[in-house]
């Protein structure tokens, strides 16, 4: 039976769709070397919260964000409008691999490498989408500690390397490292907790909903994978990279 009366928005409690605190976001934006007139393009922007904050930080900058998710783009556009940014921010629903614009001063790709087929492909594609001297902020996973069996079950054997391997890969793709930040355990716990809590709060309000059992199973499986699997094993790095 189609259910339309109580849609679940599983991302409602998240500010960013990655393990990222306000303080780290602020630091990362400070490292983007945004000048007046700079163009920032966020590939796989989600609802573009980091892009909006970057453009708010530098009032002369212009932002473009691309994501294939209708809901995310609608949320981002509503936020841009509410914050008076529509004259400087454009968000488009498109596939990042086929969408094209002029090479940017700053490119952002956080948690979106899979859109290009993996981290190496993302680094190569974004290199061509940056002007020489530009900056890439790449957010990507790595194994902080070797994956346990549950982590391998969730993410597979080949998905991530070590942090050193991630940075080396960026170097071999023609970048230089300007800054490295990694998500703290507190940032991870906040991210995973909020992801689960959106569903738990929905279940409290809709205990007899026809989809309640399914949602309860999704959140139970997710919490189990997080707490018995990748918590403390999976890392997330934010590399600020220069394209010489």
| Chain centroid, CA 94 distance in Å | 16
Kindly tell me which residue out of 54, 55, 72, 173 binds ligand SAM, with binding defined by CB under 6 A: 72
- Backbone CA torsion sign across 54, 23, 141, 178: positive
State the number of binding residues for ligand SAM (CB under 6 A): 18
Nearest Cα residue to 107 out of 92, 87, 122: 122
Kindly tell me which residue out of 74, 95, 168, 200 binds ligand SAM, with binding defined by CB under 6 A: 95
Report whether 67 contacts 45 (CB < 8 A).
yes
Q: Is 97 in the site for ligand SAM (CB under 6 A)?
A: yes
CB of 78 to ligand SAM, least distance (A): 15
Report whether 199 contacts 218 (CB < 8 A).
yes
CB of 191 to ligand SAM, least distance (A): 10
- Map the footprint of ligand SAM across residues 125-184, applying CB under 6 A: none
CB of 56 to ligand SAM, least distance (A): 16
16 versus 142: smaller Cβ distance to ligand SAM: 16
Nearest Cα residue to 200 out of 222, 232, 226: 222
What's the CA angle centered on 35, arms 33 and 41, to 5 degrees?
75
68 versus 179: smaller Cβ distance to ligand SAM: 68
Give whole-number Cα distances, 138 to 44, 69, 85, 149, 173, in Å. 11, 20, 24, 27, 13
* Region near ligand SAM per CB under 6 A, out of 60-68, 156-164, 179-187, 231-239: 60-68
179 versus 203: smaller Cβ distance to ligand SAM: 179
Q: Is 64 in the site for ligand SAM (CB under 6 A)?
A: no
Q: 228: helix, coil or strand?
A: helix
7-26 mask for ligand SAM (x: CB under 6 A)? ---------xxx--------
197 versus 203: smaller Cβ distance to ligand SAM: 197
Report whether 47 contacts 85 (CB < 8 A).
no
24 versus 162: smaller Cβ distance to ligand SAM: 24
Give, to the nearest 10 degrees, the angle between helix 49-57 and helix 22-30. 50
Report whether 225 contacts 116 (CB < 8 A).
no
* Region near ligand SAM per CB under 6 A, out of 94-102, 119-127, 169-177, 214-222: 94-102
- Which residue ranges make up the site for ligand SAM (CB under 6 A)? 16-18, 44-46, 66-69, 72, 95-97, 110-112, 115
């Amino acid at each position: 039976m189609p259910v339309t009366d109580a849609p679940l928005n599983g991302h409602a409690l998240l500010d960013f769709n990655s393990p990222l605190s306000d303080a780290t976001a602020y630091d990362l934006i400070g490292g983007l070397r945004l000048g007046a007139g700079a163009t920032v393009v966020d590939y796989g922007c989600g609802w573009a919260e980091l892009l909006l904050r970057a453009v708010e930080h530098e009032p002369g900058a212009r932002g473009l964000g691309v994501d294939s998710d209708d809901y995310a783009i609608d949320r981002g556009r509503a936020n841009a409008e509410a914050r008076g940014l529509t004259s400087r921010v454009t968000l488009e629903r498109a596939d990042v691999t086929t969408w094209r614009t002029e090479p940017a001063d700053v490119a952002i790709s956080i948690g979106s490498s899979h859109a290009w087929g993996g981290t190496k492909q993302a680094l190569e594609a974004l290199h061509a989408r940056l002007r020489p001297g530009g900056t890439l902020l790449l957010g990507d996973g790595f194994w902080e500690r070797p994956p346990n069996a549950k982590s391998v079950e969730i993410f597979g054997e080949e998905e991530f390397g070590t942090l050193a391997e991630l940075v080396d890969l960026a170097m071999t793709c023609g970048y230089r490292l300007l800054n490295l930040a990694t998500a703290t355990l507190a940032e991870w716990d906040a991210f995973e907790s909020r992801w689960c809590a959106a569903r738990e709060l929905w279940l409290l309000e809709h205990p007899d909903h026809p989809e309640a059992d399914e949602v309860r199973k999704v959140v139970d499986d997710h919490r189990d994978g997080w707490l018995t699997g990748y918590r403390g094993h999976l890392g997330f790095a934010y590399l600020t990279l220069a394209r010489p």
